[in-house]
Chain A
Amino acid sequence: MINFKNVSKRFPDGHNVLDSIDLTIEAGEMVFITGHSGAGKSTLLRLIGAIERPTSGNISICGQNIAQLKPSALPLLRRKIGFIFQDHKLLFDRSAFDNVLLPLQISGFDHKLVAGRIRAALDKVGLLKKEKAFPITLSGGERQRLCIARAIVHRPTILIADEPTGNLDTAYAKDIMDMFNSFHQVGVTILIATHDASLLEKTKQRILQLNQGQLAA
């Protein structure tokens, strides 16, 4: 499903954030990525989401080589992915409902036909009562959950979560993890970057450790 071959990433100003990484993630797998702050977890996830391009090496996602992807094929690939951003990237000029509507609009759904799906997604993250609220009026944890609702509403085949429980108390963190587990059960490929030790302790899934640009199992 996801395949890294000898992938390095260097930003113009510095050292290799990722250094010759090889990585294979099978379809339906659930993988945790951990490491200290600045280790490159977000960078790795952004490479998988085809948001960032590697400096060298090959990445293929769903059998498609990212480097050879036509510009017109990139949006289609990104629609298969649900991305929970570390900084949420919510749109502050529209309601919670309309934020969750965006991925469906982009995929070409008629917005009148999808209200049910949007409310279901909002309900999953406990925000059904806040559908008319604007992000500016939401708490940090509520914004995070709104971002999760937006990432899952179009039923992606790959779910990428960058610190999905960073702002959540243990009860909500557990709810979110339960939700991810249920997605995992129906075959969604899931990648979760976190340094929440309690999440890592409980899981039986694969954990990747990022350190000095290298991966360790």
Chain B
Amino acid sequence: MISAWLAQHWHVFVFTLKRLVSTPLTSLLSIIVIGIAFSLPAGIYILIDNLQSISGQTVSSPQISLFLKLDANQNDIEQIRQRLEENPQIRQFQFISKNAALHQLQKNSGSVDITSGLTHNPLPDAFIIDTNNSAPETLGQLQATIEDWPEIEHIQYDATWAERLSAILRLGHRLVLMLSVLLSTAIIAVMFNTIRLQILTKREEIEVSKLIGATNSFIQRPFLYFGALQGLFGGITALCIIALAIHATNNELMELAQLYTLNLHIRHLSINDNLSLLLFATWLGWLGARISVANHLWKIESK
């Protein structure tokens, strides 16, 4: 029973392969279309993945500057120092008193003494903090915590690099998602039409088969296999396109990375990514065929 069922599916599979091969140009063209449609989002995904690994290298740990209110006294300073010591997200910190800051300013400004006219020190006491984690979310969170402490005037951190990169990466992720949705829809549309044409040319066969007792699933099966197989081959084509693209741009990317003194190893799609892509492509092809079959088969009623 099971072996008969398997044999039947195997038969349809071989039959479908033959049908793909029997119209090589048409099959090849739709497979290439599917392949290109998949390689675009997948390629951008790889780019983003690699950028992400760079972002980890560059911004080791951004500094946060903490300026106290001008009227903060020694007691306030000690309290803040204690809180900073207790916070696990902070790796180390350094206290710069207002006098030290003024002294530094006097030294830096050189011959022109811009501080000479001052009757009192306008600079605040400050802490310079190094964090354990450079993720913008963590920094933002830390900022929110510290802001609530008493005697804090202003917090400033320079994670612009990391923030910009991560904003770009977020945009990139969005882009991949959008492209995937759009191109998946396109693939379904292509498959819908391919199967529609096939159903038209197989009209006789479908009619006669229904008349002598074929179930709907029997009639659908070759079309669904056709869609799934084209999707699968399209996915394989996409992987080839990506591999070729990486190979072609590898040297240029390496040179670029050296200019920025980055240590770049291009990361390819993982085996899991590859398998997911193939599975997804197969499923999409199947889905397009499924929708087409559902729309067109019932119109062919037995005559």
Contacts and interface: CB of A to CB of B under 8 A. Distances in A.
B201 to A, nearest CB: 9
Chain B interface mostly: helix
Interface string B1-40: 0011101100100000000000000000000000000000
B242 to A, nearest CB: 39
Interface residues of A, number: 26
A155 interface: no
Given A91-B205, A93-B205, A110-B8, A51 B211 contact: yes
24 contacts: A49-B211, A51-B211, A75-B215, A76-B213, A78-B212, A78-B213, A79-B212, A83-B211, A83-B212, A85-B211, A89-B211, A91-B204, A102-B208, A102-B212, A103-B212, A103-B213, A106-B212, A107-B213, A108-B5, A108-B8, A110-B3, A110-B11, A111-B11, A112-B7
A108 B5 CA distance: 7
Interface of A: 49, 51, 72, 75-79, 81, 83, 85, 89, 91-93, 102-103, 105-112, 150
Interface of B: 3-5, 7-8, 11, 204-205, 207-215, 218, 302
A143 to B, nearest CB: 14
Given A106-B215, A111-B7, 17 more contacts: A75-B210, A75-B213, A75-B214, A75-B215, A77-B213, A78-B213, A79-B212, A83-B211, A89-B207, A91-B205, A91-B208, A102-B208, A102-B209, A105-B8, A106-B212, A110-B3, A110-B7
Contacts of B3: 110
A106 B209 contact: yes
B215 A72 contact: yes
Contacts of B8: 105, 108, 110
A75 B219 CA distance: 12
